[in-house]
């Protein structure tokens, strides 16, 4: 073997300095601080106290008794926030008993399903993504037989039992081709069914007693109709998967007619209608690597989608297209870096993976930037966070230093030396 030296993790060394996990006050000193709210502070300091950011600035003094981290030469950013995925609802995608992401097509409920009921903070996906700097995520159920996935939760990646930041934080709907597949195989059907749901939900909101007493078709489950209440009242964002330019235009009309809070997911042709989206004040969660005419509804996909939407004034965030909605949320940084390579300003890319998702979920006053008073989700990086060769050296969630180990790193340690040894591989790591 070549050069199999001892595993010397810089992060581990950093942590020794940060010490005890229960530390109440942490002073991260002399790093390059990307606040994502007020620019970049060279030789900047971030003081964390009681789970919140106490101070951000240059030339601050570490409070008495604080654990001091020397971040010289390091980059400090807010924790990454994944705005769309199904973290905590799936372990192995193809193993049914470990996958709660979507009900089967014949299951009658949709909007009523609540991610918070099954979100598993002990999922092994959480430490893997946490080691990549992800501190918050939207855990969203995906649509099964109905147009709706259900109630999404905002969670932190601490792995603690109480890691749900906000349940029922957003409702998920699928339109476009996915909606058509659930609505008689046309997009016309999907829009008609969506309107019907919204009308029913309004009707229920206006007079619940009357609604449940009156004879109605019973086409929709009552619990689904109830679940859409916060959507039709405009309190809760409705995440709508839609890709084509025409689909987005129709959605904007619907948003205006029903006065909804909408977040678009997908928008592979979003740049075609960027001004309309911006005028309608709709944020967009997109996959910046989607550049193939995979379906007829995204013929105009381009790597410049993110840059063009941003230039038009649209707030953007990133997600992985279906298939990687939980395991590799950590690749947000690579997505952001590629968006930069194709025209998105670096600062806007960083905002897309920190501040913007927090704002989309109505948590912009609590999370997403490094500002005094906010929840202390902070990452210290060994270089440009958007570069594929960098990684976090320390991660803080709610002001607590996080363990950056995970089962992948344990497997590495077990198998890095393949010599037979004194005992089978199965005994390694238990020392």
Rounded Cα distance between 312 and 278, Å, is 6
Query: 44 vs 337, which CB is nearer to other proteins?
Result: 337
Instruction: Give the 3-state secondary structure of residue 405.
Output: coil
Query: 6 vs 423, which CB is nearer to other proteins?
Result: 6
Question: How many other CB atoms are found less than 10 A from the CB of residue 67?
Answer: 18
Query: 54 vs 316, which CB is nearer to other proteins?
Result: 316
336 contacts 347 by C-beta, under 8 angstroms: no
Query: 52 vs 346, which CB is nearer to other proteins?
Result: 346
Residue 392 CB, shortest distance to other proteins, in Å, is 11
Query: 45 vs 298, which CB is nearer to other proteins?
Result: 298
Q: Quick one: DSSP state of residue 342?
A: T
- Terminal alpha carbon distance of the chain: 24
Query: 203 vs 390, which CB is nearer to other proteins?
Result: 390
Query: 281 vs 321, which CB is nearer to other proteins?
Result: 321
Cα angle 242, 148, 309 (rounded to 5 degrees) comes to 25
Give the number of residues written for the chain. 431
Residue 333 CB, shortest distance to other proteins, in Å, is 8
Residue 49 CB, shortest distance to other proteins, in Å, is 31
Residue 198 CB, shortest distance to other proteins, in Å, is 21
Residues that bind other proteins (CB under 8 A): 1-9, 90-95, 102, 104-105, 125, 128, 143-145, 174, 177-178, 180-182, 185, 289-296, 299-303, 321-324, 326-328, 331, 334, 337-338, 340-341, 386-391, 408-409, 411-412, 415-416, 418, 425
Residue 124 CB, shortest distance to other proteins, in Å, is 8
Residue 232 CB, shortest distance to other proteins, in Å, is 24
124 contacts 406 by C-beta, under 8 angstroms: yes
Query: 139 vs 236, which CB is nearer to other proteins?
Result: 139
Distance of CA 32 to the CA centre of its chain: 24
Residue 21 CB, shortest distance to other proteins, in Å, is 23
Query: 125 vs 228, which CB is nearer to other proteins?
Result: 125
Residue 209 CB, shortest distance to other proteins, in Å, is 34
Residue 15 CB, shortest distance to other proteins, in Å, is 15
- Nearest Cα neighbor of 28 from 47, 52, 53, 11 is 47
């Amino acid at each position: 073997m070549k050069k199999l030296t001892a595993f010397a993790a810089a992060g581990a060394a950093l942590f020794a300095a940060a010490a005890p996990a229960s530390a109440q006050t942490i002073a991260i000193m002399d790093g390059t601080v990307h606040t994502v709210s007020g620019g970049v502070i060279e030789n900047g300091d971030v003081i964390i106290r009681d789970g919140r950011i106490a101070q951000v600035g240059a030339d601050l003094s570490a409070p008495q008794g604080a654990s001091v981290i020397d971040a010289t030469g390091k980059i400090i950013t807010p924790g990454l926030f994944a705005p769309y995925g199904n973290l905590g609802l799936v372990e192995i995608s193809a193993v049914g008993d470990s996958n709660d992401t979507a009900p089967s097509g014949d299951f009658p409920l949709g909007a009523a399903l609540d991610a918070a009921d099954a979100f598993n903070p002990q999922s092994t996906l959480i430490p893997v993504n946490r080691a990549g700097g992800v501190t918050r995520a939207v855990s969203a159920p995906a649509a099964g037989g109905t147009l709706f996935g259900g109630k999404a939760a905002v969670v932190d990646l601490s792995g603690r039992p109480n890691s749900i930041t906000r349940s029922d934080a957003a409702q998920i709907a699928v339109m476009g081709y996915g909606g058509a597949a659930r609505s008689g195989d046309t997009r016309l059907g999907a829009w008609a069914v969506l309107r019907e749901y919204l009308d029913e939900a309004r009707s229920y909101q206006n007079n619940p007693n009357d609604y449940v007493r009156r004879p109605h078709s019973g086409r929709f489950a009552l619990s689904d109709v109830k679940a859409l209440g916060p959507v039709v009242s405009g309190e809760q964002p409705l995440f709508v998967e839609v890709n084509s330019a025409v689909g987005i235009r129709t959605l904007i009309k619907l948003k205006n007619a029903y006065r909804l809070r909408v977040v678009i997911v997908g928008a592979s042709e979003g740049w075609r209608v960027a001004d309309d989206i911006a005028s309608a004040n709709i944020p967009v969660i997109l996959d910046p690597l989607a550049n193939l005419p995979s379906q007829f509804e995204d013929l105009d996909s381009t790597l410049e989608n993110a840059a063009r939407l941003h230039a038009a004034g649209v707030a953007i965030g990133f997600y992985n297209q279906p298939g990687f909605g939980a395991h590799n949320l950590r690749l947000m940084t690579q997505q952001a870096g590629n968006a930069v390579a194709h025209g998105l300003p670096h600062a806007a890319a960083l905002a897309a993976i920190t501040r913007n998702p927090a704002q989309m979920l109505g948590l912009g006053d609590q999370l997403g930037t490094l500002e005094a008073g906010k929840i202390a989700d902070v990452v210290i990086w060994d270089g440009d966070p958007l570069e594929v060769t960098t990684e976090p050296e320390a991660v803080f969630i709610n002001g607590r230093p996080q363990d950056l180990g995970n089962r992948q790193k344990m497997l590495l340690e077990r198998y890095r030396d393949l010599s037979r040894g004194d005992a089978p591989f199965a005994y390694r790591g238990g020392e």
